[in-house]
């Protein structure tokens, strides 16, 4: 949308009165929850709430909700939405709880369920704080329909990509869902953060409960994405065809990137194209995940899936020639399905294996920038200097075919530490600044949540942010659905 139009819309919106949420009434909400849900669907004990308030991939301190409702149907979600809005309680949907950027962290106080909520509690809460209910969609984990000839499945939000693929394999269906973020992530959460590739291409339609209690259906994935609670999704499936994994390494990252660009320019269509730098490979070697150690240098790992082995083989012959021309090592092609699996499993374990580079107490901040492929080599080179100057260790694992580069900044944490050392924060910020300078983004696939809000002014500008606020206000006028994510509370902005 043109900037002038965005500004006009934003200024119009700022004149619209926004209704305010009722004063939070926790005792009434609790009573309503208890009468709407059996004990098996309502967790009020501290242990469950504490576990629910923490993402194991994030360093943010745990923020236990006041209650967890385990929804079994869209009707349950509508019921909890109505209780939250009528009692002024914040509502946060959750899935596998693997989000990295604080996407389901409660930003306001959640009193113990057994405590009464008397507004502001001295020393514990501040004016405006509200208790939070988590509505977990994880028990809504069924495949509702499978349309093999349309390459589609209709799923509930609590099933994950692994669960759906197991379901298809058990029935001998030669289709699969090919996008694979963290093990344990579920479709509702994947759509909620727009996990890699997922929203753009692989989710085709959704059923969503809005904060006025109405249930809508979207055709297309990105409408009303995180502004409602997803209760059903139609996902696209890919045929299962012969697959080949191959890898090779190079003396420099430049050569690896140049090889990838040549592969894509020559029309090759690998289904995955990953870059691990020498430091990442050192972690894999330390973990001894493969029978033989790999050379500790920039490595490109690729997967080809084509209708016949011959097409895979022909693609790999083209890759071989490119690799040779670019000065890479001999292309190692997995000899059978077992080796395909071994190599890919090692790649998927990189998050854990890199911890061995630091050892006991290793903490990780995974950065998630994305740059145009033409600027990738420049990003990798210049970020190498930033990492060197920072004194940090920050191995690369990149979805290089998409320009999405994760540098995992590692350090040894202290017991109970919930903040990041200054040099880690500074390096993360410099990586984002570099990506923006190269016309990229701070968030390739992990979303914004709480931790990347500070970069959005530089990336999007004021008028886009104002437009986003307008949309949020329109769909969640009481600001009770997962507030403070993506956008700062008004007047509390802290830009990086
Ligand atoms: C080791 C590791 C590796 C990872 N690798 C990748 C990767 O390769 N690619 C990638 O994209 N991500 C990756 N991630 C990030 C993470 O896996 C994704 O963010 C994931 O998609 C989140 O899904 P989830 O089910 O865990 O959602 P949650 O963490 O439970 O929730 C995520 C967000 O979605 C919202 N949400 C949850 N359910 C719903 C619903 N039904 N309706 C509306 N909103 C909802 C939540 O409120 C929250 O804002 C990785 C994380 C880890 C820890």
Q: What are the tens digits of pLDDT across the range 41-51? A: 999 988 898 89
Sign of the alpha-carbon torsion through 412, 413, 414, 415: negative
Q: What is the mean pLDDT of residues 463-468?
A: 88
């065809």: which residue's tokens?
241
- Domain end marker among 136, 151, 182: 136
pLDDT at 203: 74
Instruction: Give domain status of residue 486, yes or no.
Output: no
What is the 149 CA–ligand 1 centroid distance (Å)?
A: 29
CA distance 368 to 395: 13
Does 18 score more than 90 pLDDT? no
The answer, yes or no, to whether any atom of ligand 1 lies below 6 A from the CB of 400, is no
- Domain end marker among 106, 136, 166: 136
**What average pLDDT is seen over the chain?**
89
Q: What is the mean pLDDT of residues 127-146?
A: 92
Burial of 84 (0-12, 13-18, 19+ CB in 10 A): buried
The reply to whether 38 and 123 lie within a common domain is yes
pLDDT at 40: 98
What is the 108 CA–ligand 1 centroid distance (Å)?
A: 21
The reply to whether 324 and 419 lie within a common domain is no
| CATH number, domain containing residue 23 | 3.30.43.10
Does 435 score more than 60 pLDDT? yes
The more confident residue out of 99 and 9 is 99
Sign of the alpha-carbon torsion through 229, 234, 235, 240: positive
26-38 pLDDT per residue, tens: 999 999 999 999 9
Does 3 score more than 80 pLDDT? no
| CATH number, domain containing residue 440 | 3.30.70.2740
Q: Look up the domain containing 434 and give its range.
A: 358-446
The reply to whether 230 and 247 lie within a common domain is no
Per-residue confidence band for 304, with pLDDT thresholds at 50, 70 and 90? very high
CA distance 218 to 295: 48
Does 123 score more than 70 pLDDT? no
Phi, psi (5° rounding) for residue 23? -55, 135
Does 408 score more than 90 pLDDT? yes
- Domain end marker among 86, 121, 136: 136
Does 394 score more than 60 pLDDT? yes
The reply to whether 52 and 125 lie within a common domain is yes
Does 200 score more than 50 pLDDT? no
- Identify the weakest region by mean pLDDT among 17-21, 164-168, 354-358: 17-21
Per-residue confidence band for 7, with pLDDT thresholds at 50, 70 and 90? low
The more confident residue out of 295 and 417 is 295
Instruction: Give domain status of residue 488, yes or no.
Output: no
- Identify the weakest region by mean pLDDT among 99-113, 117-131, 336-350, 384-398: 117-131
The reply to whether 132 and 33 lie within a common domain is yes
pLDDT at 111: 63
Does 210 score more than 80 pLDDT? yes
Does 460 score more than 60 pLDDT? yes
Q: What is the mean pLDDT of residues 98-121?
A: 72
CA distance 392 to 451: 20
pLDDT at 15: 47
For a mutational test of ligand 1's pocket, the pick from 71, 77, 78, 98, i.e. the residue with the most ligand atoms closer than 8 A to its C-beta, is 98
The more confident residue out of 297 and 467 is 297
The reply to whether 54 and 32 lie within a common domain is yes
Per-residue confidence band for 199, with pLDDT thresholds at 50, 70 and 90? very low
User: Measured from the CA of 190, which atom of ligand 1 is nearest?
Assistant: 21
Per-residue confidence band for 398, with pLDDT thresholds at 50, 70 and 90? very high
What is the 327 CA–ligand 1 centroid distance (Å)?
A: 38
pLDDT at 201: 61
pLDDT at 79: 98
The reply to whether 347 and 367 lie within a common domain is no
For a mutational test of ligand 1's pocket, the pick from 105, 178, 188, i.e. the residue with the most ligand atoms closer than 8 A to its C-beta, is 188
The bridge status of strand 175-176 relative to strand 215-219 is unpaired
Say how many C-beta atoms besides its own lie within 10 A of residue 330's C-beta: 10
Does 124 score more than 90 pLDDT? no
Most confident segment among 157-161, 218-222, 413-417: 157-161
For a mutational test of ligand 1's pocket, the pick from 192, 276, 447, i.e. the residue with the most ligand atoms closer than 8 A to its C-beta, is 192
User: Measured from the CA of 99, which atom of ligand 1 is nearest?
Assistant: 29
Q: Could you give the number of structural domains in the chain?
A: 4
Per-residue confidence band for 224, with pLDDT thresholds at 50, 70 and 90? very low
């Amino acid at each position: 949308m043109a900037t002038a139009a965005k500004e006009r819309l934003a200024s119009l919106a700022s004149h619209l009165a926004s209704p305010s949420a009722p004063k939070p009434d926790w005792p009434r909400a609790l009573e309503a929850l208890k009468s709407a849900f059996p004990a098996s669907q309502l967790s009020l004990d501290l242990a469950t709430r504490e576990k629910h308030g923490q993402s194991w991939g994030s360093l943010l301190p745990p923020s236990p909700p006041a209650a967890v409702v385990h929804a079994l149907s869209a009707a349950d979600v509508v019921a909890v939405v109505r209780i939250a809005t009528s009692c002024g309680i914040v509502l946060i949907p959750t899935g596998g709880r693997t989000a990295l950027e604080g996407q389901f962290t409660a930003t306001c106080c959640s009193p113990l369920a057994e405590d009464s909520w008397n507004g502001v509690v001295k020393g514990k809460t501040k004016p405006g704080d509200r208790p939070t209910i988590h509505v977990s969609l994880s028990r809504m984990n069924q495949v509702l329909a499978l349309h093999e000839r349309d390459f589609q499945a209709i799923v509930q939000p609590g099933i994950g990509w692994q669960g759906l693929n197991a379901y298809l394999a058990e029935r001998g269906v030669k289709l699969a869902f090919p996008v694979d973020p963290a093990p344990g992530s579920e479709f509702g959460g994947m759509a909620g953060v727009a996990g890699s590739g997922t929203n753009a291409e692989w989710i085709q339609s959704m059923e969503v409960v809005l904060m006025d209690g109405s249930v809508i259906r979207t055709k297309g994935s990105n409408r009303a994405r995180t502004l409602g609670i997803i209760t059903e999704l139609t996902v696209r499936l890919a045929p299962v065809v012969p697959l080949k994994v191959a890898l090779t390494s190079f003396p420099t990252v430049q050569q690896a990137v140049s090889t990838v660009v040549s592969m894509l320019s020559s029309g090759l269509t690998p289904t995955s194209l990953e870059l691990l730098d020498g430091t990442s490979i050192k972690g894999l070697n330390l973990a001894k995940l493969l029978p033989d150690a790999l050379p500790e240098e920039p490595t490109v790992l690729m997967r080809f899936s084509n209708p016949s082995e011959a097409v895979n083989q022909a693609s790999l012959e083209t890759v071989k020639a490119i690799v040779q021309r670019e000065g890479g090592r001999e292309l190692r092609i997995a000899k059978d399905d077992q080796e395909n699996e071994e190599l890919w499993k090692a790649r998927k374990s990189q998050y854990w294996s890199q911890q061995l580079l630091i050892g006991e107490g290793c903490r990780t901040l995974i950065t998630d920038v994305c740059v145009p492929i033409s600027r990738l080599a420049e990003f990798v080179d210049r970020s190498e200097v930033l990492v060197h100057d920072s004194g940090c260790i920050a191995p690369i694992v990149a979805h290089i075919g998409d320009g999405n580069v994760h540098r995992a900044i590692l350090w040894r944490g202290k017991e109970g530490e919930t903040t990041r050392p200054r040099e880690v924060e500074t390096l993360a910020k410099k990586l984002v600044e570099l990506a923006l300078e190269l016309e990229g983004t701070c968030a390739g696939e992990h979303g914004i949540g709480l931790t990347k809000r500070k970069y959005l002014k530089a990336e999007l500008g004021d008028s886009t942010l104002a437009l986003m606020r307008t949309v949020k206000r329109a769909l969640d006028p009481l600001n009770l659905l997962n507030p403070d994510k993506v956008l700062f509370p008004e007047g509390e902005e802290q830009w990086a």
